Amino acid sequence: MQKDALSAYVLITPGTHHLMFIVDNDMRTSDKLPTAVDYTNILVNYLEVSYDDVPQPAASDAAAERKASLDAATPVQEREAPTGIYPPQILPPTPELQPVKAPLPEPAAPKIPEPTKRYHQNIPRYLLDLDGPEESSRFARANATTNNLPTPPTLPGFLGKSILNGTTPMKDDSSVLIHPNHTVLNHLATSSIKDNILATSATTRYKQKVCHLSC
């Protein structure tokens, strides 16, 4: 061990333990320890602690524990008094009854105002890690994080299906567009990602005119 190196003693139980090292805010493995793949398919170092490596208690401690167990296992022989002879009984003094005081109500904890939330342009770290190579440990951890996120709320009924009747244009005239429903105004529509391309569209109304933007 080097003189200026930081060290610590950690008590671990017998078995196999996985570990990694944080170097410059990045999880890395050591070349001086054996490596394996954990349950998340990430390469980690591991240590095996055998039961033979655990220090056994001293002989004196073992003898004391054995004696205590024997004393606890030996039943105590109770002697019965002869028939017609009863041991004297002394009643304990009656304790004085003290009035029970009701506990005082605890004062309510002061409410700490929450800090004002502000909009920012900082992208979460796990979203940046999703753009990394799929073989990296950062991508694996970010992918595991996204799987644990709660599902988004379901679409309200008035947005999923329109309850208003819309007038349809003439079938022969392709230049006449249908009047957009109120449920699609000022809402962003997206398509599924194909070939790393995501198509978006938005419908906005200005007075009596409707503008449909797609990109």
Residue 73: what pLDDT? 53
Q: Is residue 211 part of a domain?
A: yes
* Angstrom distance (rounded) from CA 124 to CA 102: 52
Residue 15: what pLDDT? 86
Q: Is residue 89 part of a domain?
A: no
Per-residue pLDDT tens over the stretch 90-146: 767 777 777 777 788 888 888 888 888 888 888 888 788 888 888 888 888 888 877
Q: How many structural domains compose the chain?
A: 3
Q: Is residue 82 part of a domain?
A: no
φ/ψ of residue 37, rounded to 5: -105, 125
| Between 152 and 85, residue with greater pLDDT | 152
CATH number for position 30: 2.60.40.10
Q: Is residue 31 part of a domain?
A: yes
CATH number for position 199: 2.20.25.290
Q: Is residue 208 part of a domain?
A: yes
Find the domain containing 186 and state its range. Answer: 180-215
Note the pTM of the prediction, 2 decimals: 0.29
Q: How many residues are given for the chain? A: 215
Q: Is residue 85 part of a domain?
A: no
Q: How far is CA 132 from CA 22, 58, 74, 156, in A?
A: 19, 55, 69, 35
Per-residue pLDDT tens over the stretch 146-164: 777 788 777 766 666 655 5
